[in-house]
Amino acid sequence: MFHKRIAVLAAGLFAVATILTGCGGNGSSSGSEKDTFKAAMVTGIGGIDDKSFNQSSWEGLKKFASKNDLKTGSDVKYLESKQPTDYQPNLNQLIQQKYDIIFGIGFQMVSDVQKVAEQHPNEHFGQIDSVAVDKNNKPLKNVASLTFKEQQGSFLVGVVAGLTTKTNKVGFVGGINSALMKKFENGFKAGVKAVNPDAEIYVQYAGDFNAPEKGQSIASTIYGKGADIIYASAGNTGNGVFNEAKTRTKSGKKVWVIGVDKDQYNEGLPENVTLTSMVKRVDNAIFDTVSKAKDGHFPGGQVIEYGLAEKGVGLAPTTKNINAKVLDQAKGYEKKIIDGDIIVPTTDNEYKTYLSSLNK
């Protein structure tokens, strides 16, 4: 009799367990939590509120969270890097927390992403602005490498600067001098020279993406030489360029800043110093990649490049400070670049060749 009661009780418990299992996908069961797709990123130096590269990247992940009813701060989150030695610990922490895809933001992180990705071949990663490769220099199969044709968007803001300057002098302030930043610099210079061959261009690098005071000092020097427009391509360092432009404008010396990565029109207010910005849609690239990963189509081992044709770079939506005729010319050059009539230089040598072609 005792054994019979145990059997009946066991059967009842099994039935209840079956019903609970069937309801598991509807709410807060551990099975539901396990099925939640989780995505995260490790910021580059400069912080999540750099009003530039890191912030744009985070906006891409937040958009993904919103579209998929995920919670930011848990299902989707970021870890901030204060210094390069934070990269690997942050990446490993997110692996331990079972995130389905982890993004490394910026070319400075590529060696760390490569090392961690090779140590964890079953984990998925996204690398922004560099190609993550193995020991044979082939793209790692568990990393999606997302790159951009920054030179193309920079060419367009160069056209705007070349046609807008009243002093015939413009400047470029970069973060860390590197192959990536040279794409911004040389594309910008090429655009300026395409429409204004006599323009003088001052170039200086801060050696840092997180030094606004350094950016302001460099901007002061360049404006002091007579430049009335500076293209600030330096992350948080570029915010110092905005500070200097605002200070000068307040004192009656009207100067402009060209922003980068995001539409930085608001950064120029209330003094209204933002001429335009070269937007780099890192947010779209991250959103596209994480969406593919969630749907089971993670583009591991692929190098995906976003240019003007893919709407990955270009002029900012806010155009109120650009003369209508100047904007029309910039759009004309955009079409020539997309059609392949203009190949925008990325290196110093390519820029020299480009200049020679203009003189013919």
Partner residues linked to 233 by β-bridges: 174
Report pLDDT digits (tens) over 82-113.
Answer: 999 999 999 999 999 999 999 999 999 999 99
Mean pLDDT over 20-38 rounds to: 49
Q: Which of 156, 192, 181 is nearest to 237 (CA)?
A: 181
> Is-cis flag, bond preceding 299, omega within 30?
no
The domains located in the chain, with CATH, are 37-148+283-306 (3.40.50.2300), 150-279+323-358 (3.40.50.2300)
Strand partners, 128: 146
**Beta-strand (E) ranges in the chain?**
39-42, 76-79, 101-104, 124-128, 143-148, 169-174, 200-205, 229-233, 256-261, 274-280, 303-306, 313-315
CA distances 158 to 40, 75, 110, 239, Å, are 35, 40, 29, 19
What pTM was estimated for this model as a whole? 0.85
Q: State pLDDT tens for residues 38-93.
A: 999 999 998 899 888 899 999 999 999 999 999 999 999 999 999 999 999 999 99
Of 229, 238, 226, 223, whose CA–CA distance to 280 is shortest?
238
